[in-house]
Amino acid sequence: MMRQIIIAVLTILTITYSGCSSGDKEVDSTKLRTLITEAIAGDQDANETLKGLLSSKHTGKSDYNQLTIDGFKLNDKQYYSVVLEYPDPTLNLFAIYDSEFNFYLLDKSLNGNLSVEWATSGSRLFVFLQERFLTKDVLSLDRLSIYEVFDETASLIYRSLSRFVEGNDISYQTVELITKTFIATKVTGLKDKAIDNQTDTFYFNNNANKYLSKWNLFNKYVKQQIREFGWVTVKPQIQSDMLENGNTLIRNGYRIDLGSEWEEIPSFKEDKLLIKSLVGTKFLNRSLNSIFTILEIPKGENAENYSPYSFEKPTMGDYKIRATAMYDSGNNYSRIIEHSCGDKKFLLLFECPKTVYTQKKNIFEQIISSFTIKC
């Protein structure tokens, strides 16, 4: 059933729903499962081995609906997808590892019942993840996410609703073609005959690093149907942003929790907030006019060589964090945080308008606390 929803033309992609076995000497699905169950039981060493897969909210929460680990082998390299699904969807997560315990991706923005399939198209490797959940108690929704796996990381490249059920009426959005520049979908079963059986095109946006549609025919149609549906709800309702995007970004050397509204700008030269320039990645939220910039400090250098502000005392342990105070610069606040582990050092730069910070302080603090570097 999932394959029918995900894609209509099976010749486009080779889809494999593989088992959980692997002959890899370093890590296999059995070892992954053992580590995850130990980490849920409170074993911090196990969670550190998993590169911090679980948060403190997962400790002791053994009442999960499913813990599913699927393996996929491509060009002699073994990958693993992890699905952890709970009755409480805020604990749901999806992750990708390889057999050497490299951590490619973590997505915590998932709802309802989860299912996964791996797929290839030429040299490209994808993971299709489908969520199924209810809204207004009786309306059933499916949402499809497509992740692309690269040499050292993975990224959410597409996310949109794929199925909507209202009584006996079922409508679909089916992926029909994936290319480097666009994804073509077809919407069917819609009550609105003006757009029923139409094709929607999601073009790859280099700034957002994902495929986006100018029209979003199916999502807009479903949202309209939900708004017009008359029903007194009893069950807890999904958040409106469940119809949008959001995930943990894992890049070469670090990870950070940022939603899809943050535009990623690679190879950005930062010289505004620093004594001397560094090149890294800038994440810009245009609606909030706020910026996070991540920069790796060259080996042999110190944060003091770049920061115009003094740092507070670092945290204890091998993994150290130290930060400047929140500085007032005109209409904006700015702050610099250093993370260091061994010979690796990164700077996390934050800048936003004062009025926005006052309104969104908790969100910004959550993003800052989510940032970690790979030791």
**What is the rounded distance in angstroms from the CA atom of residue 15 to the CA atom of residue 372?**
34
Q: What is the pTM of this model?
A: 0.67
The pLDDT value recorded for residue 247 is 58
Query: Cα dist. 225→88, 211, 213 in Å?
Result: 26, 24, 20
Superfamily of domain 255-373: Mog1/PsbP, alpha/beta/alpha sandwich (3.40.1000.10)
Query: Cα dist. 292→286, 324, 327, 371 in Å?
Result: 12, 15, 15, 11
pLDDT in tens, 94-153: 999 999 999 999 998 898 899 999 999 989 999 999 999 887 667 899 999 999 999 989
Extract the residue ranges of the chain whose pLDDT is less than 50. 3, 5, 7-11, 16-25, 232-234, 237, 239-246
- The SS3 of residue 304 is helix
Name every residue whose Cβ is closer than 8 Å to that of residue 41 and which is 6 or more positions away in sequence: 59, 60, 62
The side-by-side arrangement of strands in the sheet containing 254-258 is 66-74, 77-85, 93-98, 103-107, 247-251, 254-258, 372-373
**What is the rounded distance in angstroms from the CA atom of residue 3 to the CA atom of residue 9?**
10
Single-letter code of the amino acid located at 120: T
Q: Which of 238, 205, 229, 259 is nearest to 90 (CA)?
A: 238
The pLDDT value recorded for residue 248 is 67
Q: In 10 A of CB 305, how many CB atoms?
A: 13
- The SS3 of residue 253 is coil
The pLDDT value recorded for residue 285 is 92
Q: 208: burial class by Cβ within 10 Å (0-12, 13-18, 19+)?
A: middle
The pLDDT value recorded for residue 319 is 85
Contact 53, 47 (CB under 8 A): yes
Phi, psi of 350 (to 5 degrees): -125, 135
Q: Give the rounded distance of the alpha carbon of 40 from its chain centre.
A: 21
Domains of the chain: which residue ranges? 2-247, 255-373
Contact 141, 218 (CB under 8 A): no
The pLDDT value recorded for residue 231 is 53
**What is the rounded distance in angstroms from the CA atom of residue 119 to the CA atom of residue 17?**
8
- 3-state secondary structure string, 159-210? EEEEEEEECCEEEEEEEEEECCCEEEEEEECCCCCCCCCCEEEEEEECCCCE
The pLDDT value recorded for residue 137 is 63
